[in-house]
Amino acid sequence: MNTAQMVPSAQIIVSIIPIIGILMGGAILFFYLLWRHKQVSLLIKTNSYKPARVDLRIFSLLTGLLLSGTGFILSLLFFLLEGLSYSLLGGLIPCVLGLALIAFYFLYPKDIK
């Protein structure tokens, strides 16, 4: 059943559901950031704050593998569905970004502190 055959009140409800979902997700994100900020500021006041150490090499490898895998599958899907067209960029861009991050992983020195 498409939306043209639905009752107008049902169309309104169906169109409001995503808006409410986005607003609720935004509120959850806002309060998480607010409470995390308060937690970190209290930890700093008590001198017990230890900043999280992020390993840039491992993060770039993980992100690169995820992006290149997703991009490759999307590129293959778009190529099979539509052939050579602009929609193929929807898969090639993440694939190339993922390959660049994997190259960064191998080119970044291991012993930098």
58-101 pLDDT, tens digit each: 999 999 999 999 999 999 999 999 989 898 999 999 999 999 99
Q: How much is the pTM?
A: 0.60
Query: Cα separation of 32 and 101, whole Å?
Result: 29
Terminal CA-to-CA distance of the chain, rounded, Å? 59
60 compared with 52, residue with greater pLDDT: 60
Digit-coded pLDDT (tens) for 1-42: 565 677 888 888 888 999 999 999 999 999 999 999 999 999
Give the pLDDT confidence score for residue 109 in this predicted structure: 85
Q: Distance of CA 88 to CAs 11, 77, 82, 91, 97, Å?
A: 33, 9, 8, 6, 15
Scan for tokens 């700093």, then name that residue: 44
